[in-house]
Structure 1
Amino acid sequence: MTVTAAKPAGPRLRADASRNRERIIVAAREAFVEFGADVPLDEIARRAGVGNATLYRNFPDRRELILHVTLSVLTNVVGHAEAAMAEEADTFQAVRRFALAAARERIGALCPLLSDHIDRCDPELAASRLRLTQVVTELVARAQRAGRLRPDVAVGDFVVVLTQLTRPLPGSGCLAMDGFVQRHLQIFLDGLEAPARSILDGRAVTLEDLKRHN
């Protein structure tokens, strides 16, 4: 009788560990949105379908978990922007697609919620934020160069409104807001499209303006 040698378990274990880590990040993101940054880590482990030991093996403390949730969201949002620019022939459709995708990531709810719990000087975080700034700036600039997005707005305007519209109102559940967010984003995007139907008061808000107020 021929005996088949068992395959090494190493790669499987590494794949399982990677999947566990991803499940924890996804569960944490949803729990943070629903309950806030102080949600018990036991609840996150339960939602991820892993034991507490697995959670702590991957993320030794809450700050480490929050950092990696933030990095995950930023990476996803950058990916949405890059995909929209690469795949949409209409530059304004790329802006629309990106805005709706960023809303589904709940970026407006997560960023202010988590910003007080992480080191903003973390090099990996700084690199992710810089990359997001670059791709969103290019996304808006392409639509303006093509005459598809009104010229009297700047990237800061776009970022502020996108963040505000995807942030839940005080006293309301974030998960219950999803339907309203998509509807209100559509109204906002219709207002961005060129030719403009009105003249805006004041001046366009730049990213430098936003940095001065942070």
Structure 2
Amino acid sequence: MIRIEPFGAEALMLTLADTPKERLPGRIAQLADNLSQALGDALIDLVPGWTTLLIHYDVMQYSLSEIQARVMPVIEDWHQESDDLERVARLHEIPVWYAGPDLESVAKACSLAVEQVIDLHSRREYRVGAIGFAPGFPYLGELDERLVLPRLASPRVRVEAGSVAIAERQTAIYPQASPGGWHVLGFSAWRLFDPQAEPPCPLAAGDRVRFIAVDEATYRAEGGQAAWD
């Protein structure tokens, strides 16, 4: 059941499902496009999540009741559409050098060979469910159930930028060096956040991602530097 609730003084939180679904990020991205057209310059920002969409709006243009009245018809039309109607999802193929500090421990914990971990992680196509935690940090799901592990018992003080990691049922790439408790499988030379670019993040909710296993020479040729060099 869809819920619409005030979220602070200048935002509405739309809860669009109780649990994540494969097509839902793309559907939410389509709803975001529809709301952007409907609200025009009264819209400040849209923040999609796995099952939610946060709307920041200009309170100088709309009161709470007025913004709800503008939003409701858009949501109703969206809700009546087929689940197949979603924003066209871009596919990003991201090279990864699988040489992370947790690769062997993940293999052991999952009762797999290292080669099997790499194969299971790279063979699957993921959806970007949300961007959060840090600028450009993409939450990607769902991970193969054979790789599902809890977060590290003791988070690292520093995880290097470009680290490709897993935790629970998700995988992600750290855009910047930061603390983190995910299991690091490898490294990517991709730049996931550039404040000077438009858009600053090349990934968006609803996009598709595939990881391509590459060797160290290819990784470094693309500008990558191994963490802990």
TM over 0.5: no
Higher relative strand content? 2
Larger Rg computed on CA atoms: 1
Higher relative helix content? 1
